[in-house]
Chain A
Amino acid sequence: MPGTYSANAFTLAPASPQAAAISQLFVGTLIFLGAILALVTLLVIYAVIRYRDRPGAPAAQQNFGWRKLEIIWTAVPTLSLAVLSVFMVRTMIASDLPTADAKPDLRIVAHQWWWEIYYLKTGVVTANEIHIPVGKRLLVDFRSADVIHDFWVPAIGRKIDIVPGHPNRLWIEADRGGTYLGACAEFCGNEHAWMRIMVIADSPEEFAAWMKDQAAAPPGPTTAEEQRGLAIYRKSICINCHVNSVGPDLTHIASRRTLAAGALDNTPQNLAAWLHDPEDFKPGSNMPNFRLRDDEVWALVAYLETQK
């Protein structure tokens, strides 16, 4: 079972200028709305206490309304909302930067139920986990391989739908280091709940090191067990799916924090359990159960653990 991570509420801990802009607007709006709620609540509670039916209470006053009052409580909300709109427009500009002319740094292809990630400038391919350098803005180009998905990492900023036939782009950045959790936020089928995503903001040095590792070939199998694992990997034609974008690229799978888009922590035990029966953890996932024997599973795990 996955371990615990910190909750990333954009309101409590925005980690980018865009998320901070939205967070400020949200807090201000909540205060405004809260004040209205408090006003209405007070008016109602006062009315029902002061004018409750009890012996000796005066007869109900047969009045029908007052036009002046109607105008006031139409005009005041209208003006307040107009003011709110001004703040809204400012925040729209601050939280969703124009993407038209720039060249994308990343391409994220959303699949049922995993994320395929390409670093366009270095050719690095990974899945479910994005590393970005702190303080640098990256342009992401989103595509869908199948249905509508949605990229939502609250601490980083707004969510954006990923619509087949309608590519979208978004600038993402983090202004401090950390691990920011997100999820697909548009119902996309059986395992929508386990299409989670992680944005890891590294220092520029850490990021460069990570990028270098990812771009290089992973250390190959050395021990006999690892060799056996590679043989099984080839025999079971894992490559058919895992290199053709049907399933996530496994080149550096051992370097990732979770498996199955957040369904499991990435440990050898969990990897073995997953290979034993994917249905157990992610029923309906597209990975079939290859009915591997225990020893075959452990050999595969040994091989995959070399793919750092």
Chain B
Amino acid sequence: MKEVAIPEALGAESFELEARTGWLSWVTSVDHKQLGIMYMLGAFIFFLVAGVLALLMRVQLAVPYNHFLSPQAFNQFFTMHGTTMIFLVVVPMLVGFATYMVPLMIGARDMAFPRLNALSFWVQIFGGLMLYFSFATSGINGGAPAAGWFAYAPLSETAYSYGPGVNYWILGLLGIGVGTLTAGINLMATIISMRAPGMSLRRVPLFVWMTLITGFLIVVVMPILNAGLVMLLADRLLNAHFFRADTGGSAVLWQHVFWAFGHPEVYIMVLPAFGIISEVIPVFSGKPIYGYDFVAASTVAIAFLSLTVWGHHMFAVGLDNAFNLFFAISSMAIAVPTGVKIFNWTATMYQGRVRFTTAMLFAISFILMFTIGGLSGVAFAVVPIDWQLTDSYFVVAHFHYVLFGGTTFAIFAGAYYWFPKITGRMLDERWGKVHFWLTFIGFNMTFMIQHVLGMLGMPRRVFTYPALPGWEAMNMISTIGAFVLAFAVLIFMINFVISLRSGKIAGDNPWDAWTLEWATTSLPPAENFTRVPPIRGRRPLWDIAHPDRTDEMMTRVAG
């Protein structure tokens, strides 16, 4: 077996490695592994905060005419819940996974720009704190922003949101946005410039492909959001007129700019999840991903298409039918490459040996939950259906199925899969199964019924509702489901703490996986690898263990 030393060019920079002990070493760290962990922990804390906001809202909605929360509080909570989950939980969590894993997966010793990496993280945290500081602003107009996570104008203008809340929303998002943008640049530069010899782009793990494509989307759309945010800030603070219909501005322009960012943003939130699933399913099926090229290529297609679908958020605005038709077609089109992946993940399990680890349970249910969410998305691409169901609980159900049943399930799969590599210990599988089933049941209980509520006419973003037949019982079921979910999260946290202390020692490769992160110790040393194994295919460790039937040999035979 040939050893490969890590050349200078791949980032073996001459800065001193600091001791990885003590909290100060974490605060000043530029190491991608520590930063990855910090991203993930920060995201999890925000997940708990936003989750509590959700529980409070579900208590308010459990019965009609409830007075548990005032409308002002409820409206602030749904705004902060959405903003937090999207910008401070899902994206940073996925960035955290990528920050930790991508350099390992490509045989590099850190990311392209370690100091920029640290800046990205801390700026994002600062932005998040600034956003939450809004809760502390006092007075009758004080409090958190309450214009919804997409802050439609003119509601978000000073005339209708006169407190400082929306200003904090804008400034917080600008800060968070700088963090996300620089992280995207860093990840792309790392993948483009720092792959170990032999690690061509056709051989990188699919998680790396997805990260690369996500980086591209980040680089294109975060600046679009930034432009919109500065225009709104100019309106609010400098009396500009961009989105103020009463002085010649255009409320619809805000929607175009926001959704030109906002739709690709949801793909930013799901492509890395696709990457996690593309790693987990093959390993626990014992065979390579089915259709690697098609999974990668279909993702490139999704990225480009995602830039052409934003108008489907505006079907009800009353724009002309040529506009509606174009975006309906593009939105239906984007379902096709997504479906290709669903079929490829499923086909991966065929003729495999499926091991039902907790990670795999989450990954398998990801396929089903994401399909449900994706199909309800196709329903929305059908314009007249959107004309009835947009802005109702049907759309709330849709996006929770893709973002929770999809991305969050994938995040849990990734957590169980990579916890051993990151900490050196295994998460307990028995607690894990309890966590999984409670999550599966709680999630479906909370959100499946919301499809029906939408069909029965319940609009979204309402702090209460009248006692219409069925509405009360369905809302109650949804609320109970939310508490089951909360309990599931608690189980996960218990598992996490117990396993961190006394979990089974993992070893280098507890799952019998094949990508490079498993070719080093758990946890990896500071420089990631003492030696990078030879890379002659997509599964370097498989090739080493089966020199008589490497991937290259088998693909040549298959033709």
Contact = CB atoms under 8 A, between A and B. Distances in A.
A47 B318 CA distance: 46
Contacts of B246: 164-165
Interface in B56-88: 65, 70-72, 75
Interface in A132-150: 146-148, 150
B346 A43 contact: yes
Contact of A9 (B382, B455, B464): B455
A196 B466 contact: yes
Q: Which of B75, B324, B549 has the most CB of A within 10 A?
A: B75
A241 interface: no
Contacts of A293: none
A64 B351 CA distance: 12
A148 B318 CA distance: 12
Q: Which of B368, B467, B468, B558 has the most CB of A within 10 A?
A: B468
Given A47-B354, A165-B251, A4 B468 contact: yes
Interface stretch (A30-38, A229-237, A268-276): A30-38
A55 B156 CA distance: 62
Given A22-B387, A192-B461, A166 B336 contact: no
Contacts of A91: 384
B347 A190 contact: no
A58 B70 CA distance: 61
Interface in B384-413: 384-385, 387-388, 390-392
B335 interface: yes
A141 B467 CA distance: 31
B431 interface: no
A91 B528 CA distance: 58
Interface stretch (B12-20, B128-136, B214-222, B287-295): B287-295
A61 B353 CA distance: 9
A181 B353 contact: no
Interface in A83-129: 84-85, 88-89, 91-92, 95-96, 112
Contacts of B534: none
Interface string A145-169: 0111010101001111101111010
Interface in B448-504: 455-457, 459-471
A173 to B, nearest CB: 16
Contacts of B160: 112, 146-147, 189
Contact of A44 (B290, B346, B379): B346
Q: Is the interface on chain B under 10, 10 to 19, 20 to 34, or 35 or more residues?
A: 35 or more
Interface string A54-72: 0001111111111001100
A69 B347 contact: yes
A5 B466 contact: yes
Interface string B262-273: 000000000000
Given A65-B292, A70-B291, A88-B382, A26 B388 contact: yes
A90 to B, nearest CB: 9
B328 A85 contact: yes
A64 B294 contact: no
B350 A81 contact: no
Contacts of B342: 40
Contact of B335 (A81, A92, A190): A81
B287 A60 contact: yes
Interface stretch (B147-155, B168-176, B183-191): B147-155
Given A51-B349, A53-B355, A22 B72 contact: no
B548 to A, nearest CB: 12
A21 interface: yes
B513 interface: no
B286 A59 contact: yes
Interface in A5-47: 5-12, 19, 21-22, 25-26, 29-30, 33, 36-37, 40-41, 43-44, 47
Given A25-B382, A163-B252, A77 B336 contact: yes
Contacts of B387: 22, 95-96, 157-160
Given A29-B379, A61-B287, A65-B344, A161 B316 contact: yes
B466 A88 contact: no
A283 interface: yes
Contacts of A9: 455-457
Interface residues of A, number: 90
Interface string A188-230: 1111111010000000000000000000000000000000000
B155 A148 contact: yes
A78 B155 CA distance: 39
B352 A60 contact: yes
A60 B388 contact: no
B364 A92 contact: no
B257 interface: no
B379 A77 contact: no
Given A74-B340, A92-B384, A64 B379 contact: no
Contact of A166 (B252, B329, B368, B457): B252
Contact of A7 (B324, B459, B471): B471
A131 to B, nearest CB: 20
Contacts of B325: 89, 92
Contacts of A148: 152, 154-155, 251
Contacts of B379: 26, 29-30, 33
Given A147-B160, A283-B72, A88 B384 contact: yes
B65 A187 contact: no
A170 to B, nearest CB: 8
B74 to A, nearest CB: 8
A262 interface: yes
A84 B382 contact: yes
A183 interface: yes
B339 interface: yes
A186 B251 CA distance: 13
B333 interface: yes
A16 B342 CA distance: 39
A190 B288 contact: no
B144 interface: no
Given A77-B336, A81-B336, A160-B316, A64 B555 contact: yes
Q: Which of B72, B318, B333, B356 has the most CB of A within 10 A?
A: B318
B366 to A, nearest CB: 10
A154 B394 CA distance: 13
A52 interface: yes
Nearest to A280: B67
Nearest to A152: B459
Contacts of B340: 70, 73-74
Interface stretch (B1-9, B24-32, B370-378): B370-378
A172 to B, nearest CB: 13
B364 A48 contact: yes
12 contacts: A2-B466, A5-B468, A7-B471, A9-B455, A33-B379, A51-B349, A53-B356, A62-B549, A147-B160, A158-B316, A164-B245, A193-B462
Given A6-B468, A58-B353, A186-B152, 12 more contacts: A2-B466, A4-B469, A8-B457, A22-B385, A26-B385, A43-B346, A59-B353, A60-B287, A148-B154, A191-B71, A193-B461, A193-B464
Interface of B: 65, 70-72, 75, 146-148, 152, 154-155, 159-160, 245-246, 249-252, 285-288, 290-294, 316-318, 321, 324-325, 328-329, 332-333, 335-337, 339-340, 342-344, 346-347, 349-356, 364, 367-368, 371-372, 375-376, 378-379, 382-385, 387-388, 390-392, 455-457, 459-471, 549, 551, 554-555, 558
Closest 9 CB pairs of A and B: A165-B245, A60-B286, A158-B387, A193-B462, A65-B291, A61-B351, A168-B318, A164-B245, A47-B349
